[in-house]
Amino acid sequence: MTVTIVGSQLGDEGKGGVVDVYGDAADVVVRYQGGDNAGHTVVSDGEKYKLSLVPSGAVRGKVGVLGNGCVVNPETLFEEIDGLRERGLEPDVRVAERAHVILPYHRALDGIEEDEKEDLAAGTTKRGIGPTYEDKAGRRGVRIGDLLDPDTLRERLEYVVPQKKALAEEVFGKTTDERFDVDHLYELCLEYGERLADEEMTVDCGTYLQERIDAGDQVMLEGAQGTSLDIDHGVYPYVTSSNPTAGGATVGSGLGPGVVGNGEIVGIVKGYLSRVGTGPLPTELGGVEGQTPGYDPETADEAEEELATYIRDEGGEYGTVTGRPRRVGWLDLPMLRHAARASSFTGLAINHVDVLAGLEEVKIGVSYDFDGEELLTMPPTTEQWARCEATFETFEGWPEVDWAEVAEDGYDAIPENAKTYLEFVSDELDVPIYAVGVGPGREETVVLEDPFA
């Protein structure tokens, strides 16, 4: 069977940790979309692993597959594999031949276009994700399979690279370098191809996975990003360029919808909201300059800023690379209703319950006031979403406790008020709670249900 892990908000909900908790029973862990824009943390025996491309299961000796729906930067892939090997692991990673390759010009163009877009910029990770998916849809991409086929590769590059060079130089007025040079790219791609072939990493993903399932293996599908960053279901244009929602798991792995739909689909929820990047956020607390639209620290509400800083500090909500503060907010139920519907969640893992401990009261945005109308789910356009004002329900806070002990004792040991909070969310979404995260470590998770059982 399959278990699919889907982010229900704006990414960084703790998907990597949940994959790790449930991954024991899995034989294969598959990423089905996105690329090295993701950052999935697994904390194992006090060791912290931050993976951006290699599926989280690789830390536990599972086969990790990058599905056809992914965009793969071989540079990052090899770096991560080498890094894990240096730490004594032997990651077994396979890459779909149908997956698209992020090439140096994609990264370059991601940066150039972000600077150009100004107000429309999503604040991307500048990893070349958008430009690579653009080329996929434009039918001018280079696929993993092409890296092993020198003639096809040459033909593809000769067609596409001059266009990219012209775009950078003539539309954006930039000077270009070897990242836009056919000969250089050709050599680089051949090197990538050689290593992929030497290590026998490439697979026909859907066929490979179906064979494993037919042989009785358990497959975990690890989503990256989150529902509100989905290109179709998120807050366009402040989104990524793929489908993190469960539909993406079937398209991006080659397993049929019947297979994925017959399995379990676990929505990962952070107990509050965090956001990297721009765009509206109706339940936001305080703001972050340069990311929160219209934010002015001079006129900001002091108490709210203090609360935001508290949650940010407790949750470590600072960029891992830049150290920039992330935007934070209260849980947004309309966003979660939208996510639960779009992905048919069969269970929920609600994380970061420990982060909210110690607050006098905790709020949940339960609906939106949209020009006087009550909305229970997200409106279809981002401009409409920006006009929504959240209506809050207030819950009594819960104390700071020994969370490791709570995790050991189980769900009943969770403070009463926290359980009220969790059960409210579960009831509203009509989806049972499968797990509760009370700390970053694997053992700091209260497991109520094992989806593979």
Q: Which residues form the catalytic set?
A: 12, 40, 136
| 437 known ligand binder | yes
Residue 243 binds ligand GDP (CB under 6 A): no
Burial of 172 (0-12, 13-18, 19+ CB in 10 A): middle
Separation of alpha carbons 225 and 384, rounded Å: 23
Question: Torsion angle, CA of 309/310/313/317, rounded to 10 degrees?
Answer: -60
320 is in an annotated binding site: yes
Complex with ligand GDP: residue 43 or 359, whichever CB lies closer: 43
Q: Which candidate, 345, 344, 364, places its Cα nearest to that of 271? A: 364
Alpha-carbon gap, residue 376 to 251, rounded angstroms: 29
Tell me if 317 contacts Mg ion by CB under 5 A: no
3-class DSSP assignment, residue 99: coil
Q: What is the nearest approach in angstroms of Mg ion to the Cβ of residue 319?
A: 10
Q: Which of 42, 96, 37 is nearest to 69 (CA)?
A: 96
Q: Which is nearer to ligand GDP, 12 or 135 (CB)?
A: 12
Minimum Å gap between C-beta 29 and ligand IMO is 14
Q: Is 365 exposed, middle or buried (0-12, 13-18, 19+ CB in 10 A)?
A: buried
Q: H-helix or E-strand containing 80?
A: helix 74-86
Instruction: Check binding of 312 to ligand GDP (CB under 6 A).
Output: no
12 is an annotated ligand-binding site residue: yes
Which of left, alpha, beta for 139 (phi over 0: left; psi -120 to 50: alpha)?
left
Stretch that binds Mg ion, among 10-18, 23-31, 59-67, 417-425 (CB under 5 A): 10-18
- Yes or no: say if 406 and 438 are a contact pair by the CB < 8 Å rule: yes
Out of Mg ion, ligand IMO, ligand GDP, none, what residue 130 binds, judged by CB under 5 to 8 A for its kind, is ligand IMO
Smallest separation, CB 3 to ligand GDP (Å): 15
Environment class of residue 319 by beta-carbon count within 10 Å: exposed (0-12), middle (13-18) or buried (19+)? exposed
Is residue 439 a contact residue for ligand GDP (CB under 6 A)? yes
Give yes or no for residue 440 binding ligand GDP (CB under 6 A): yes
Beta pairing, strands 361-370 & 389-396: antiparallel
* 321 assigned to a ligand binding site: yes
CB of 428 to Mg ion, least distance (A): 25
Q: Which two tokens stand for residue 200?
A: 């026998």
397 binds Mg ion (CB under 5 A): no
Q: Please identify which residue in 3, 9, 10, 12 interacts with Mg ion, judged by CB under 5 A.
A: 12
**Token code pair at residue 320:** 């891992």
The CA distance from 224 to 240, in Å, is: 10
Q: Give 55 or 439: the residue with its C-beta nearer to ligand IMO.
A: 55
The least CB distance from residue 181 to Mg ion, in Å, is: 33
Tokens at 322, concatenated? 């830049």
Selection from 398, 436, 400 nearest residue 418 by Cα: 398
Is 227 marked as binding a ligand?
Answer: no
Determine the straight-line distance between the first and last CA of the chain, rounded to whole angstroms: 10
Using the rule CB under 6 A, is 351 a contact of ligand GDP?
Answer: yes
Phi, psi of 84 (to 5 degrees): -65, -40
C-alpha–C-alpha distance, residues 196 and 104, integer Å = 18
The answer to whether 262 is annotated as binding is no
CB of 186 to ligand IMO, least distance (A): 26
Instruction: Tell me if 40 is assigned to a ligand binding site.
Output: yes
* Cα(401)–Cα(412) distance, integer angstroms: 13
Contact footprint for ligand IMO (CB under 6 A): 7, 11-12, 37-40, 122-125, 127, 129-130, 224-226, 229, 238, 240-241, 276-277
Angle at 144 between CA 142 and CA 145, to 5 degrees: 95
Closest approach of Mg ion to the CB of residue 38, in Å:
6
Q: Which is nearer to ligand GDP, 342 or 407 (CB)?
A: 407
Q: Does 347 bind ligand GDP (CB under 6 A)?
A: no
> Which is closer to ligand IMO, CB of 288 or CB of 406?
288
Site string (10-49) toward ligand GDP, x via CB under 6 A? -xxxxxxx--------------------xxxx-x------
11 is in an annotated binding site: yes
Residue number, 133 or 421, with CB nearest to ligand IMO: 133
Cα–Cα nearest to 145, from 198, 185, 201 = 201
Residue 358 sits at φ, ψ, to 5 deg, of 95, -10
- The answer to whether residue 354 forms part of the interface with ligand GDP (CB under 6 A) is yes
Which residue numbers belong to the known binding site for GTP?
A: 11-17, 39-41, 326, 352-354, 437-439
Which residue numbers belong to the known binding site for substrate?
A: 320-326
Which residue numbers belong to the known binding site for Mg(2+)?
A: 12, 39
Instruction: Give the footprint of Mg ion on this chain (CB under 5 A).
Output: 12, 39
Which residue numbers belong to the known binding site for IMP?
A: 12-15, 37-40, 125, 139, 225, 240, 324
Instruction: Give the footprint of ligand GDP on this chain (CB under 6 A).
Output: 7, 11-17, 38-41, 43, 351-352, 354-355, 437-440
Which residue numbers belong to the known binding site?
A: 11-17, 37-41, 125, 139, 225, 240, 320-326, 352-354, 437-439
